[in-house]
């Protein structure tokens, strides 16, 4: 809060498309999709109207002993899209991570392998900030303060291509990291419940991108040693990496998929954990304690489900993934101008674009944010990583403005 003396809060009054308008009428291009949640622009008529219609019908009912049409329809849709036929709902990403971790642990207990209690995650991973999810997160600034409170989990090397040796290809590096994973899993499989990963892009680590070969090997290793694979697609799901889900690019299915963020197009909080018949069957029992006793008051909220259904309908009717391919190429082509600046690792994966500024300035991210805001651009660098994760509805002229303004801002401060 004290830092806001220097960086005052910006009071936003309304949004429209990629634009946010403050109470003085000044507008900001939302290049970060309001923290990666917005897919089809602010004030999207289709999502807005779906929520309004649902609001006239049923705002909420508990999902214990009751069900309702939007949650059934959404579950069917998500099953169809992921190939995993069972859905468990919550309201935010961190809860989805917690649910997947608890369900994995509980599965092993239910099938008579109670020693499988531990989790592993990738170095620099981010899976949310409640105590359980922070336990598998590896971002020092969020974690260190609370470390004494957290469950112990092991880290394996991150396949983030920026960490490769010079001359090593992304694929070679991914496979080398997968070897390290195999070594760890082989040694500890009797006590391991699950590996949790952010498929293809470790977003909070500064858009650390990696080759799909890692996921393919991770899937094989997990299957061979009887360890669950949890795919945290909270940030990368719903088309962000170019396919509906990032795991598709490695042709794998995880045992659990965590979804949130873009699921409602950025309108309402909702998350889901999808899992397989095999996992489901281990909980299907007369004894209540064998069931998965985990609940949140707003689980499966009908308004949020209606926003999610409207969001998924847009994917179908507007050929979003195909159009995004062209848009992604257009943005990355435009971004080549940035190579004239002191930057490295210019990269992209679907509708995620990033590069790292070469600077010793520890205040770079704050200065960049501030300078961009002055120019009407909402940029929110992570350390030295500057990235764009815009709503998919961004137009070519808005892309030009986004890239040109970024160039001007960085030229002035680097
Ligand atoms: C944002 C995020 C989360 C946490 O979601 P919240 O809704 O902020 O709790 C978890 N995992 C990943 C990969 C994320 O990007």
**Nearest CA residue ID for atom 5, ligand 1:** 93
CA distances for 338 relative to 194, 240, 361, 414, angstroms: 40, 22, 19, 12
pLDDT at 199 > cutoff 90: yes
Distance 94 CA to ligand 1 centre (A): 6
pLDDT at 35 > cutoff 90: yes
Index of the ligand 1 atom closest to the CA of residue 261: 7
Q: What is the CATH number of domain 3-30+319-413?
A: 3.90.1150.10
Distance 290 CA to ligand 1 centre (A): 28
Average pLDDT, the chain: 98
Q: What is the CATH number of domain 49-317?
A: 3.40.640.10
Average pLDDT value for residue range 167-195: 98
| Cβ–Cβ < 8 Å for 311, 322 | no
Distance 80 CA to ligand 1 centre (A): 23
Tokens of 398: 């808005």
Q: What is the pLDDT of residue 213?
A: 98
Residues of the chain with pLDDT > 90, as a percent, come to 99
DSSP assignment of 150-170 equals SPP-EEE----GGGSPTT--H
Q: Which of 99, 126, 245, 259 to mutate to test the pocket of ligand 1 (most atoms within 8 A of CB)?
A: 126
The full set of domain ranges for the chain reads 3-30+319-413, 49-317
CB proximity list for 336: less than 8 A, separation 6 or greater: 346
Characterize the bridge pairing of strands 201-202 and 118-122: unpaired
Index of the ligand 1 atom closest to the CA of residue 198: 13
What lines the ligand 1 site, CB under 6 Å? 92-94, 97, 126-128, 198, 203-204, 232, 234-235, 260-261
Residues of the chain with pLDDT > 70, as a percent, come to 100
Q: What is the pLDDT of residue 38?
A: 98
pTM value > 0.85:
yes
Q: What confidence tens digit (pLDDT) does each residue in 203-261 have?
A: 999 999 999 999 999 999 999 999 999 999 999 999 999 999 999 999 999 999 999 99
Instruction: Please give the order of strands across the beta sheet that includes 154-156.
Output: 86-90, 271-275, 256-259, 228-232, 192-197, 118-122, 154-156
Q: What confidence tens digit (pLDDT) does each residue in 9-29 have?
A: 999 999 999 999 999 999 999
Q: Rounded to 5 degrees, what are φ and ψ at 91? A: -120, -5
Q: What is the pLDDT of residue 265?
A: 98
Average pLDDT value for residue range 97-109: 98
Q: What is the pLDDT of residue 6?
A: 87
Query: Which pLDDT band holds residue 7 (cuts at 50, 70, 90)?
Result: confident
Q: What is the pLDDT of residue 222?
A: 98
Average pLDDT value for residue range 361-389: 97
Distance 191 CA to ligand 1 centre (A): 26
Distance 340 CA to ligand 1 centre (A): 34
Index of the ligand 1 atom closest to the CA of residue 97: 10
Q: What is the pLDDT of residue 208?
A: 98
Index of the ligand 1 atom closest to the CA of residue 233: 13
Q: What confidence tens digit (pLDDT) does each residue in 259-298 have?
A: 999 999 999 999 999 999 999 999 999 999 999 999 999 9
Distance 73 CA to ligand 1 centre (A): 24
Q: What is the pLDDT of residue 157?
A: 98
């Amino acid at each position: 809060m004290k830092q806001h003396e220097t960086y005052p809060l910006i009071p936003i009054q309304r949004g429209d498309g990629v634009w946010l308008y403050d109470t003085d009428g000044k507008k900001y291009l939302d290049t970060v999709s309001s923290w990666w949640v917005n897919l089809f622009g602010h004030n999207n008529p289709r999502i807005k109207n779906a929520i309004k219609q649902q609001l006239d019908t049923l705002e909420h009912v508990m999902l214990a002993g009751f069900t309702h049409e939007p949650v059934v329809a959404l579950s069917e849709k998500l099953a169809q899209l992921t190939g995993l036929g069972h859905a468990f709902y919550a309201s935010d990403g961190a809860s989805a991570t917690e649910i997947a971790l608890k369900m994995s642990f509980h599965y092993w207990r239910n099938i008579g392998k109670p020693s499988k209690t531990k989790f592993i995650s990738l170095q620099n991973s981010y899976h949310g900030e409640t105590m359980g999810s922070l336990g598998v997160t590896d971002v020092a600034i969020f974690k260190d303060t609370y470390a004494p409170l957290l469950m112990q989990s092991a880290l394996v090397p991150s396949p983030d291509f920026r960490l490769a040796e010079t001359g090593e290809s992304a694929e070679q590096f991914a496979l080398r990291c997968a070897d390290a994973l195999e070594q760890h899993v082989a040694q500890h499989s009797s006590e391991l419940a699950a590996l949790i990963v952010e498929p293809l892009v470790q977003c909070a680590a500064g858009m650390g991108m990696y080759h799909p070969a890692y996921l393919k090997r991770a899937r094989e290793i997990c299957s061979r040693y009887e360890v669950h694979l949890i795919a945290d697609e909270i940030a990368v799901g719903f088309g962000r990496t170019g396919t509906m889900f990032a795991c598709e690019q490695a042709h794998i299915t995880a045992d659990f998929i965590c979804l949130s963020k873009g699921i409602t197009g950025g309108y309402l909080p909702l998350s889901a954990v999808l899992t397989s018949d095999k996992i489901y069957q281990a909980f299907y029992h007369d004894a209540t304690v064998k069931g998965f006793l985990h609940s949140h008051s707003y689980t499966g909220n009908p308004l949020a489900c209606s926003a999610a259904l409207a969001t998924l309908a847009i994917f179908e009717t507007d050929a979003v993934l195909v159009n995004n391919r062209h848009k992604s190429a257009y943005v990355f082509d435009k971004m080549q101008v940035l190579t004239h600046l002191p930057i490295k690792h210019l990269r992209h994966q679907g509708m995620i674009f990033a590069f790292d500024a070469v600077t010793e300035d520890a205040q770079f991210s704050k200065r960049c944010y501030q300078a961009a805001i002055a120019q009407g651009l909402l940029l929110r660098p992570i350390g030295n990583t500057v990235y764009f994760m815009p709503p998919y509805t961004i137009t070519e002229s808005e892309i030009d403005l986004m890239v040109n303004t970024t160039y001007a801002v960085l030229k002035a401060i680097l």
